[in-house]
Every structure is written in C-alpha cells, then in structure tokens.
C-alpha cells in the first residue's frame, strides 16, 4: 500500500492568455479553459456517443451541453430531495445507449415518493432519454433501487453509478451521516451495492453470510467517486472525516472498516474507532490527510497526455484541486496536484474522447472546464 506520497508537481499558477488558466505539470504546461458557466451545483457529467455531454444539477435538472452551449432542462427527471448534500446526483449510460437511449440516474429521494412515512435515502432510476435538439425528455422511468432504510439526515448520500463490463450496476452509498450503519450488514448504507439493470440481485453477488444480498462491499463512509478499469475492477474514492479520505478497489465481500478503522479523526479532534488497522478489515490503496474531499473518478486513456495513460484522475472539493494518481499495476505510487485553489470545488472529472480532461465545479455558478496541453 502506498500512502501520503510526495506531490510530484508544483501548484504554481502561471499567468495565461485571457479566458484560461495555465499551470505546470509532469506532462508539461496545461491549460484550463472554461467552456460553460451558469450551472446550478452540477454533480456529474458523462459523454454521449456523439460527443455531447449530459450533466446533472443537484437541484434536479439534467442538461445537454453541446460545444459549450447549455441546453434547456430535460423533462421527466425524478423529484429529488435537494437539501444539504441531497439532490440529483450521478448519471450513467447503458452499454446500448446509442440504440436504446437508456440511462441511469442516482438521486436523493423523499420518503413520500418512495411510499414511506419519513426521511430520505439514495435511489436509482432508469429511463429512456429522447433527445430533441439539445434538450428532450425522459420516458419509461422506473425506480429500480432504493436503500432499505430512509432517515432524516441531509448528508452522505454517496452516490455514483458504474456499469460493469457484464452490464450489472455498482452503486456507491454513503453512511447517511450515521456512521455505525456502515457496519450493519443488513443495512445498505455505507456500502457498494451491485444490482442488475432491472434492480434484481445478480446471482454471482458475494452473498456473504449475514449480509444483505445487494451488498458488494461494506465499511465505506461517503464514496463520491467510482470508475471501472478495463479489466472490470472497480475503484472508488470516499470522504473521510477530518483526514482519512480514501482510494479503494472494492472486492466482493470485503469490509473497508469505517468507522472501526480510519486514518482520520472526528471533527471534534477526538479519535474514531480503534485506530488505522484491525485484522479482517481492508486497508485503502491510498489516503489523504489532511482531506481534499475527493469527488469524481476516472482512468485516463487518451493520447494528449500519453505518460498519464492508466492513471486515475479525481477532483477535490475542499481541496479545490485536480489530482492525478500515478497507478502501476494495483498500486498507487505517486500523486500530482494541479491547479490547486484556482478552479473551485471540483465535483466530477472525466477523460474526454478527444484526450482532454473535463471537470465540473460545485458552485452556484458551476462551470464546465476543459484541461489539455497548452499547445493543444
């Protein structure tokens, strides 16, 4: 395990041409250019096959961005609980999206909409996207998953949706700010769950004795980034408390320890759990202390930055930074921080089909930003 490695590049800001920011990196001078503004706390972005982007806004809108132009809200999105950390969260495309238009949305759902009496919880909807220019509508909406216990807290919903190589879905769920739930194996909070495209439980789930059948892994605090490596391995990033943000490679039936073990401490300064290690509990691949509040995660596979191929990219919310994690095999062997303090709260990061890096910022005036070599 590699942790707390030295930062490889300076966060020095170089004065750029008008309308962009530039900073040095291990791959040379990079330019961050704002493509779109005026987004309402955007939470997730995904590229469609035609190169246009779908972007969620936490207040409940789903929009198309085409060459920087932001389309009108797509109709038919779910009603969301948009308080605290809740709202419309992730968006993912089905493998046959080009033919079916099928997408998946994760969101914070009100109890009344779920047929429950009180509280909120994370849910996943599937729907068919019908595009009409740079807007459109959702049809055939169906909630295929919701966590099995709703509570009234307004934080730690997770939630990312990743489509596995076999078409099944990984969904990350936070502990809802009720940390002991992450070690309750009948509770889906503080977990990665794996479900079929229709919400059923895949027959090859871990089915660990005493665990809810949807569970893939437990002991997670608030995973807000997830991505798939080409070989089908899932990687996640999650928020610690004060320190202890983690990168994990969740394995079936494994327990990642929160809140029994952590590299962070309580916001009061008091310790959490029994320390950093305990037999039977997994160690992170990497951790941050102090926290950067990582959000969004993607593997880089483009040609613009060939030395970075196979590395992980994540954003920092409190850290206000774009991070590259140097991956060799199954280990993280280095970290590089880019544009520190310059771009705002980075909520999601995607490697684009053109080889550039695209990110969105979680702000009232949220922005879509393209990062590429300055000479590109």
Q: Which residues, at least 6 apart from 245, have a Cβ–Cβ distance to it below 8 Å?
A: 237, 238, 239, 264, 287, 288, 289, 291, 292, 293, 294
Of residues 41, 156, 220, 239, which has the active-site annotation? 156
Which residues have CB under 8 Å from 329's CB, separation 6+? Answer: none
Q: If you search the block for the tokens 């039936």, which residue do you land on? A: 253
Hey, what's the torsion of the CAs at 216, 226, 311, 323, to 10 degrees?
-130
Q: Which residues pair with 369 in a beta bridge?
A: 34, 359
SS3 (DSSP) at 359 = strand
Collapsed DSSP state (helix, strand, coil) of residue 306: helix
d(CA 105, CA 45) in angstroms, rounded, equals 11
Inter-residue contact 340 to 5 (CB < 8 Å): no
**220 carries an active-site annotation:** no
* Element holding 126 (H helix, E strand): strand 120-132
Phi, psi dihedrals of residue 259, rounded to the nearest 5°: -100, 20
Residues noted as catalytic: 156
């Amino acid at each position: 395990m590699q942790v707390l490695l030295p930062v490889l590049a300076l966060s020095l800001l170089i004065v750029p041409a008008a309308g962009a920011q530039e900073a040095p990196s291990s791959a040379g001078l990079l330019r961050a250019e704002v493509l779109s503004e005026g987004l309402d706390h955007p939470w997730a972005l995904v590229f469609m096959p035609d190169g246009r982007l779908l972007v969620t806004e936490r207040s409940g809108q789903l929009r198309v961005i085409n060459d920087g132009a932001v389309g009108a809200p797509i109709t038919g999105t779910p009603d969301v609980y948009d308080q605290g950390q809740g709202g419309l969260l992730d968006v993912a495309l089905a493998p046959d999206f080009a033919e079916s238009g099928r997408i998946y949305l994760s969101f914070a759902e009100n109890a009344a909409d779920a047929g429950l009496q009180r509280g909120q919880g994370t849910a996943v909807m599937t729907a068919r996207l019908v595009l009409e220019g740079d807007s459109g509508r959702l049809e055939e909406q169906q909630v295929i998953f919701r966590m099995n216990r709703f509570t009234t807290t307004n934080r730690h919903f997770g939630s990312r949706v990743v489509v596995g190589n076999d078409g099944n879905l990984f969904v990350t769920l936070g502990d809802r700010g009720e940390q002991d739930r992450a070690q309750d194996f009948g509770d889906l909070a503080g977990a990665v769950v794996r479900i079929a495209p229709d919400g059923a439980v895949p027959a090859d789930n871990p089915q660990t004795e005493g665990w809810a059948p949807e569970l893939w892994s437990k002991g997670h605090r608030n995973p807000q980034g997830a991505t798939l490596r080409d070989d089908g391995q899932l990687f996640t990033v999650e928020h610690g408390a004060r320190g202890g943000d983690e990168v994990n490679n969740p394995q079936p039936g494994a327990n990642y320890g929160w809140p029994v073990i952590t590299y962070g401490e309580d916001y009061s300064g008091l310790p959490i759990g029994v320390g950093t290690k305990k037999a039977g509990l997994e160690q992170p691949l990497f951790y941050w202390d102090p926290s950067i509040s990582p959000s969004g995660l993607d593997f880089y596979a483009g040609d613009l930055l060939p030395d970075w191929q196979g590395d992980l990219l994540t954003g920092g919310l409190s850290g206000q930074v774009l991070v590259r994690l140097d991956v060799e095999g199954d280990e993280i062997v280095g970290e590089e921080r880019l544009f520190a303090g310059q771009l705002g709260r980075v909520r999601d990061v995607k490697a684009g089909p053109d080889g550039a890096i695209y990110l969105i910022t979680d702000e009232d005036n949220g922005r879509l930003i393209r990062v590429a070599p300055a000479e590109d």
